[in-house]
Structure formats: C-alpha cells, structure tokens
Amino acid sequence: MSVRRFHVYDSRTRETRVFAPITPPRVGLYVCGMTPYSAAHVGHARTMVFFDVVARALRRWGYRVFYVQNVTNLDDKVIARAAESGDDPLGLADHQFREYLASMERLGVRSVNLYPYATDYVPEIVAQIRTLVDKGYAYRADDGSVYFEVAKFAPYGALSGQRVEELRPGARLELDPRKRSPEDFVIWKSATPGEPSWESPWGPGRPGWHIEDTAMTGRLLGDRYDLHGGGIDLIFPHHEAEVALAESATGVAPLANYWLHGGLLLLEGTKMSKSLGNVARLDAVLDEYGPMPLRLFYLNASYRSPLEFDPEKSLVEAREAYGRLAQPATRLAELIDRGGAEREGEELPDGVEVEADDLVERLDTLLASDFATREAIAALYSWGRRVGELGNLTRFSGAGLSGLYGPYAWGEEVLGLFVRPATGASGAWSEIVPVALEARARARARGDFAEADRIRDALAAQGVRLEDGPDGTRWEFVASG
Ligand SMILES: [Zn+2]
C-alpha cells in the first residue's frame, strides 16, 4: 500500500526532513498529555488540536497511526490540589481527566487511540528504574528516593541545545542533600504518609514525572518509535529527561525518530499556564464560542509560532472568520442533504470539477509540507469565492454539488472544520426542524410570542439558528457545543 510522502520539521535535528516510518505503514505517535489537577485551558487545547490534525492527515495519507497520549494522574500538583479540597488524589485526577475528555470530544479531537494513566504502569516504571540502577545511571538516596545521574549520560542537553554547566543553578542555591549533583532528577519519590504509594526495591514510593513517559512508550510503542510531540515548553527539562532515561535504559537511540513541538499560546505576551494563573478555561470558551471558531483560531497560524490569545478579541474575530469560511460549505451541505446524489439539475460548468480536485491535491500538498494549516485555510477561503462566482447553487445536480463540496470534505476530514452538530440517527434534524418551525409560525400567528421565542431558544440550544426573512424562516446549524 502506498502512503503519501511528507516533510516535517524535526526539533531534534533542527531541520525539515522527509518522514520515513520505522515499519510502514505503521506510525507510533506519542504526545505528552495532561496532568489533570484542574480544568484544561485553551493553551492545552492548541497542542491537542494540532496533533489531532497530524493524526488525521497521516491516516488520510494511508499511515496506520497508533496515537498514545499519557495522563499524569498522580504528581505533586494533583496531591496538593486534592489536599486542599479533601479529595482522593486519584479520584480527583480521574474526574478532571473525564472533564478534559468531554471538552476534547466537543472540539472534535477523537484521534487518540489510548490515554494511559501513569499509575497503571507502575510495574513498567519500577522495571525501568531497576535497569537504570543496575546499569549505574541512577542511584538510591538515603530516604528511599531514586535519582537519575545526569552526568552519566553524555548526550544530555542535545535535544534542547543546552549545556549541562548552564543548567546548574549555581552556588546561590543549596544542593538538595539527596542529590549527587543539582541537575540530577528524581525518578522514584519515597512515600509520604497519606499519599498513594507502591512497593519497590527501594522502599514504598511513587513515580517521578519523566519516567512515566519512557516506561509507557517502551511498553506501548517500543524502544524506538516514530513521532514524539508536545508543547515547546516541554522540550526542557521534560523531553531531555525522557531521552536520557530511555536511551540509557535501552541503549537504543534515538528514542523517537522525529520530535514535533507546537508553539505556545500567549496571553499578553506570557505563556498561558495554570501555575501563572493567566488562563482561559477551555470549557467556558467552548460554551461561549463553540468548537469550530476555536479550531480555526488555532489552525489559522503556523503551528510552531507563538500565538497571542486576546480573550476580548481573538474568538470574536475567529467566529466571524469562521462564518465567512463555512457559509458556502454549509449551503452546499444543506442542498446535498436535501436532494442527495440523485438530485437533478445542471452539471458544473466546464473545468470546475477539475479545479475542485486540483485544490484537494493542493491542500494535501500543503499539509505534507510541515502541516501548513494556515495556507490550507487561505486556499479554502479562495474556494469559497470561487463557489460564490457560480451564482445560484440550487440549479446544480447532486453530483455537481458534491464536486463543489470536495475541498470542504477535505477540511472536515483533516482540519476538523465544517462539522455540523450531530444530526442524530439518519439526519432526523432536517425533518424535525420544519415541524418546530411550523409550530412557531402558528404561535406567532395567534400572537403567542412567548411561545414562539421559547421554540426559537430551544432550537438554538441544539445549535439550530433561525433567520426570519420576507420569504419565511431559514434555518442552519451553527457551530456550537
Ligand atoms: Zn510527557
């Protein structure tokens, strides 16, 4: 089976490279996921939407992607937050993770195959730590914690381009007496009473952060896999630590053949982060603007660049922009829904079908050049203008309309745009809404405007927007939660 060739910017080699999978057409994709101690924000979602597009594009191109995104369901922040609220830490993380999944579902991020919890991989974590201790890369401190000794791994710093000497906090900071050197990092934390802990050869404790990723990927994706992704802020120390742990433990390098890092979402020029408190909650943004404007906002930028999020402006503009982008797509989809492929009518003017096919090819080519989503969106805007030039669309046959929809079908499949809210089994909405509109028209005719408004609001809550005009009421699905 043939797969499409594509280029990707690899942070490890700092160059744009042709992608070559280890075992084509399989692709192992691992993306650092959530530490679910509180609600997800729109900065997290930027990363998740980008890697969703990566997985969608690769699958379209014939790759069989196995996409794993870990869940750090136990760490210091989870424990601290649970202590504040009086919750069980693992229960709190589980609840927050489910909320995150619900938001991902609304956003159309459904490409992840597996969301493993760190605490489900304790045997793998303990086994990897034992290997590191046996090989002399890690040591047990007096309190029963285990540290990775950075000086033992010569390539440390290569991924992020840092030098170990620069990492030393210097004499100003007191050295943790448990560490041999300041840059050493903990991979097994000795148990604190009252916290979840597991037995280990070094005494009871729980996993450190970085080791969960390498223990999981070793198990799920092998010693070496294709693509590792995450936000650019994770490159140091987290991804550097992953490389050190995995490559020391297995002797296999590189851990991942390609490293993809997404740019940060900034709020007033500063990274959006829970610890800084400058966040816009994802669920609240989805409630207010719906998923499609948010996806457009993320994807209408180069994925590696920082993106400024203005809570007052960004999504108001994105909603308007999405309205313009999606209007022809929505109109075409409505007409196709109404008549299906059998719909009779004119064929498209000469050459238009070919233009549509060429555009789809061009869209794939853009994505295949390091995921140029912004350029793809610009091409879709142009297509909307082209469709507009054709004038009244109702005269075309079902086949003609489907031809015009081709580039939008691509946008739906790869970018996750143009998705209309679920229409229930067998597209029942197109039958239900006219019935509701008739009831509303009767209510208005008898002067019961409260009832008419109630019907309008009930439809709006389901994502159906009404527009009263001289020829009656038109309706459309709008992108909403
Ligand atoms: Zn990670």
Question: How far, in Å, from the CA of 230 to the mean position of ligand 1?
Answer: 8
Question: How far, in Å, from the CA of 419 to the mean position of ligand 1?
Answer: 30
Question: How far, in Å, from the CA of 239 to the mean position of ligand 1?
Answer: 7
Question: How far, in Å, from the CA of 43 to the mean position of ligand 1?
Answer: 16
Question: How far, in Å, from the CA of 215 to the mean position of ligand 1?
Answer: 11
In tens, the pLDDT along 422-464 reads: 654 435 666 778 888 889 989 998 999 999 988 988 888 777 8
Question: How far, in Å, from the CA of 6 to the mean position of ligand 1?
Answer: 25
In tens, the pLDDT along 55-70 reads: 999 999 999 999 999 9
Question: How far, in Å, from the CA of 238 to the mean position of ligand 1?
Answer: 7
Question: How far, in Å, from the CA of 48 to the mean position of ligand 1?
Answer: 13
Question: How far, in Å, from the CA of 234 to the mean position of ligand 1?
Answer: 8
Question: How far, in Å, from the CA of 86 to the mean position of ligand 1?
Answer: 27
Question: How far, in Å, from the CA of 361 to the mean position of ligand 1?
Answer: 35
Q: What is the pLDDT of residue 171?
A: 43
Q: What is the CATH code of the structural domain delimited by 7-262?
A: 3.40.50.620
Question: How far, in Å, from the CA of 207 to the mean position of ligand 1?
Answer: 13
Question: How far, in Å, from the CA of 119 to the mean position of ligand 1?
Answer: 14
Question: How far, in Å, from the CA of 103 to the mean position of ligand 1?
Answer: 20
Question: How far, in Å, from the CA of 125 to the mean position of ligand 1?
Answer: 14
In this structure, what token pair is assigned to residue 276? 């800084």
Mean pLDDT for the stretch of residues 311-335 = 95
Question: How far, in Å, from the CA of 256 to the mean position of ligand 1?
Answer: 13
Q: What is the pLDDT of residue 461?
A: 74
Question: How far, in Å, from the CA of 38 to the mean position of ligand 1?
Answer: 17
Q: What is the pLDDT of residue 172?
A: 46
pLDDT category, 174, cuts 50, 70, 90?
A: low
Question: How far, in Å, from the CA of 34 to the mean position of ligand 1?
Answer: 9
Question: How far, in Å, from the CA of 117 to the mean position of ligand 1?
Answer: 12
Question: How far, in Å, from the CA of 324 to the mean position of ligand 1?
Answer: 38
Question: How far, in Å, from the CA of 210 to the mean position of ligand 1?
Answer: 6
169 pLDDT above the threshold of 50: yes
The alpha-carbon radius of gyration of the chain (Å, integer) is: 26
Compute the distance between CA of residue 146 and CA of residue 200 in angstroms, rounded to an integer. Answer: 11
Question: How far, in Å, from the CA of 196 to the mean position of ligand 1?
Answer: 21
Q: Is the pTM of this model over 0.75?
A: yes
331 pLDDT above the threshold of 80: yes
15 pLDDT above the threshold of 90: yes
**Residue-averaged pLDDT of the chain:** 92
Question: How far, in Å, from the CA of 174 to the mean position of ligand 1?
Answer: 28
Question: How far, in Å, from the CA of 250 to the mean position of ligand 1?
Answer: 18
Question: How far, in Å, from the CA of 252 to the mean position of ligand 1?
Answer: 19
Question: How far, in Å, from the CA of 87 to the mean position of ligand 1?
Answer: 25
Query: Where do the domains of the chain lie?
Result: 7-262, 321-415, 426-477
Lowest-pLDDT choice from 112-126, 311-325, 347-361, 455-469: 455-469
* Token pair 């196709």 in the structure block, residue: 336
Question: How far, in Å, from the CA of 243 to the mean position of ligand 1?
Answer: 11
With contact defined as beta carbons under 8 Å apart, do 371 and 303 qualify?
Answer: yes
With contact defined as beta carbons under 8 Å apart, do 147 and 103 qualify?
Answer: no
Q: What is the pLDDT of residue 175?
A: 79
Question: How far, in Å, from the CA of 235 to the mean position of ligand 1?
Answer: 10
Question: How far, in Å, from the CA of 201 to the mean position of ligand 1?
Answer: 25
